[in-house]
Structures are given as C-alpha cells and as structure tokens.
C-alpha cells in the first residue's frame, strides 16, 4: 500500500542525505557569519549558488537519469560542494582580514 511507498521514499532519503549534513551545516553557519558581518553579497552568493545554480539543475538532471534517488544524490552533492566553496570563501576572507590587521599593527614590516 501507500505505507510501503512512503517507507521506500523515506529510506532512500535517509540513506543519502545524512551524509551531506556536514556540508549543509557548514554552509549555513558560514552564510550566517557573513550576514552577521554585514557581508551580504558573500552570503547571498553562497545561498543562491547552492540552491539555484547547483541544487535545482542537478535535481532535475538526477531525476531524469535516476528517478527519486537522483534527486537525493543531487541534493547531497550540492550540500557538499557548497560546503567546500563556502569554506574556501570564509578562509580567504579571514586570511585577508588577518593580513589587513597585521599591516595596521606592524606597518614598518611591509
């Protein structure tokens, strides 16, 4: 019956998506951090990139190629990819801030 189908869908989701929670969590924390620092452009880039640029097209393609499992894989891939991209962006931001602070503290060393 319908219960078996729901169980099958839930099982597919729970088999794939939890592996991507780390990437998703990292992305959300970094987006919140950029928002909190008033760097809205970076936050928006990450949020829209993850959703519109990657997740929606990959989910469509995944569904066409693999059905519902393709959607779960696309969501997971998008979460992990944008977790890495967000990490790279925040790492670069922190490095630039650190360099700027060092220049202000020690201008003679330049």
pLDDT tens, 3-47? 999 999 999 999 999 999 999 999 999 999 999 999 999 999 999
Taking CA atoms, 46 is separated from 10, 18, 36, 79, 96, in Å, by 28, 20, 14, 11, 19
81 Cβ neighbours under 8 A, 6+ residues apart: 23, 50, 54
pTM of the model: 0.85
Domain ranges of the chain: 2-94
Q: Residue 26, CB half-sphere, CA atoms under 13 Å: how many?
A: 19
Rounded-to-integer distance, Cα 5 and Cα 15, Å: 15
Closest C-alpha to 50, from 76, 14, 70:
76
Q: For the segment 74-103, what is each residue's pLDDT rounded down to a tens digit? A: 999 999 999 999 999 999 999 998 887 776
Tell me what pLDDT residue 56 has.
98
Assign 48 a pLDDT band (cuts: 50, 70, 90).
Answer: very high
User: By the 8 A CB rule, do 93 and 42 touch?
Assistant: yes
């Amino acid at each position: 019956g319908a219960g078996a189908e729901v169980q099958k869908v839930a099982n597919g989701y729970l088999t794939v998506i939890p592996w991507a929670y780390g990437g998703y969590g990292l992305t959300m924390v970094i987006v919140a951090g950029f928002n909190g620092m008033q760097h809205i452009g970076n936050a928006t880039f990450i949020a829209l990139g993850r959703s519109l640029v990657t997740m929606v097209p990959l989910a469509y393609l995944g569904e066409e190629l693999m059905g519902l499992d393709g959607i779960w894989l696309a969501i997971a891939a998008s979460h992990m990819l944008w977790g890495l991209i967000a990490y790279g962006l925040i790492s670069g931001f922190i490095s630039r801030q650190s360099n700027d602070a060092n220049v202000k503290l020690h201008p003679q060393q330049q």
